[in-house]
Structure 1
Amino acid sequence: MTSKEKEQTIALSAVFQAAELVAILAKTGKVDNASLQPMIESILLVNAPSTEDIYGGQWDCQSNLSLGRNVTRKALSKDRSSVNPDTLRYALSLVHLESKLAKTPQMLSTIGEKISQIEQKKAHYDSLLHENIIAAISGMYQETLSTLPFRIQVQGDSRFLQQPHIANQVRTLLMSGIRAAMLWRQLGGKRWHLIFKRKTLLKALESRS
């Protein structure tokens, strides 16, 4: 097990946390802010010193991604059947969509510019959970990733998904999942690792417990 594999499990846990939160939000209309906030923060932290720092640093990373780590552990183990099928689908879709984004440099540049604009705006609000911040990130997702041929289809209760604020939260979480999937790829993570390197990833994941 290498330090890179440990970092990969952080990124992978964030992918699964985003996917799980989307699944929960789409069906119940609400999510835990303690799990949501670090995902939003990760989108705006572009030049963090380490993967751990993107999700709260040495002391808070594990607690901030505890939901994602638990889901990842189940998804990589024999307990996979206990993971929400929608969560698995969203996680794999995020990895796939990010691979498409990586081949679109102009869109990456546009996303970078929009993140800088949102970063400047956040000083005007007392929390990143403010609906204007969430709406801005959602708009960024709509103007960029939503225009690619491959789109993530979110399934849930239409009573919730048709509410603008909840739809914005869903898109914001998908953007945070793309951020995590990008990290996963940059750290050498590949889709086939989820099948053929499960034991190695599980060991690295358990070492963070």
Structure 2
Amino acid sequence: MSRSLHDQTLALAGVFQAANLVQQIAHSGQCHESSLETCIRSLFATNPDSTLDVYGGELTDIREGLVTLSSVLSQQSKQQDIEVLRYVLNLVHLESRLNRRPDMLDVIGSRIDQARHTASHFGYTHGNLISNLASVYTDTISTFRQRIQVSGNPAVLQQDENAARVRALLLAGIRSAVLWRQTGGRRWQLIFSRRKVIQHARELADKANQSIC
């Protein structure tokens, strides 16, 4: 796996995309379906040819994450930005804890592999698959002492479908945090290399926009 700034930025954008979707769902129960599919699909990309392949192979698939990354890291002026950044930092921290638990990693890998049939049969955003992946998160990551507290509309979060999507997205965020570490990403880079990451994320987002046009 390449350890370039390019690959690190893509992987970090994956974390930001999942975190941003969690924030959207927690407050409104709505999110971009295509961005959700990209995040869920990334869980099943266990042997990619490149970092971008984890997210479908096109910059447009990870565009929301790239835009969110550059916006949140450069501004942090809105409550929404603060919530997204908190989720990202928590996901990165939990991934470092998970990395020291090979037994739990094996369980997660095995259960995601078992879910492949559901994904291939129903699609990546089907309720059955989302519920399955949410249970993986609940049975593994949620057992750590530090848990991610999701802020939002209680009436929205109490709906089973929304709660499941949030947990499945948090699992996808962990997957991207794993990828970020594998490409050489480190927490200190969010402080000391922030400008380089923001600039490259903007360049990639511009390329994605051109593809759409």
Both structures adopt the same fold (TM-score exceeding 0.5): yes
Mapping 1:142-157, distance limit 5 Å: 142-157=138-153
| Higher mean C-alpha displacement, 87-96 vs 2-11 | 2-11
Deviation at 1:202, TM superposition (A): 2.5
Answer yes or no: is 1:133 the counterpart of 2:129: yes
Q: How far apart in 2 are the matches of 1:26 and 1:16?
A: 15
Q: Say whether the 8 Å CA contact 2:3–2:183 is kept in structure 1.
A: no
1:107-135 Cα shifts (integer Å, max 9, x gaps)? 0000010011001332332x211100000
Deviation at 1:70, TM superposition (A): 1.0
| Residue 117 (structure 2) aligns with | 120
Q: How far apart in 2 are the matches of 1:150 and 1:105?
A: 18
Q: Which runs of 4+ in 1 moved over 3 A?
A: none
Structure 1 segments unaligned to the other structure (5+ residues): none
Q: Secondary structure at the match of 2:77?
A: helix
| Residue 82 (structure 2) aligns with | 85
Taking structure 2 as the reference length, what is the TM-score of the superposition?
Answer: 0.91
Structure 2 segments unaligned to the other structure (5+ residues): 207-213
Letter in 1 for 2:33: N
Match of 1:100 among 84, 97, 110: 97
1:112-165 Cα shifts (integer Å, max 9, x gaps)? 10011001332332x211100000100100111011111101111111111111
Letter in 1 for 2:40: I
Deviation at 1:3, TM superposition (A): 6.7
- Decide whether aligned partners of structure 1 residues 104 and 3 sit closer, same or farther in structure 2, where only a CA change above 3 A counts: closer
Taking structure 1 as the reference length, what is the TM-score of the superposition?
Answer: 0.92
Deviation at 1:37, TM superposition (A): 0.5
Deviation at 1:84, TM superposition (A): 2.0
| Residue 25 (structure 1) aligns with | 25
Mapping 1:25-64, distance limit 5 Å: 25-57=25-57, 60=58, 62-64=59-61
- What percentage of residue pairs aligned between the two structures are identical? 41
Letter in 1 for 2:92: V
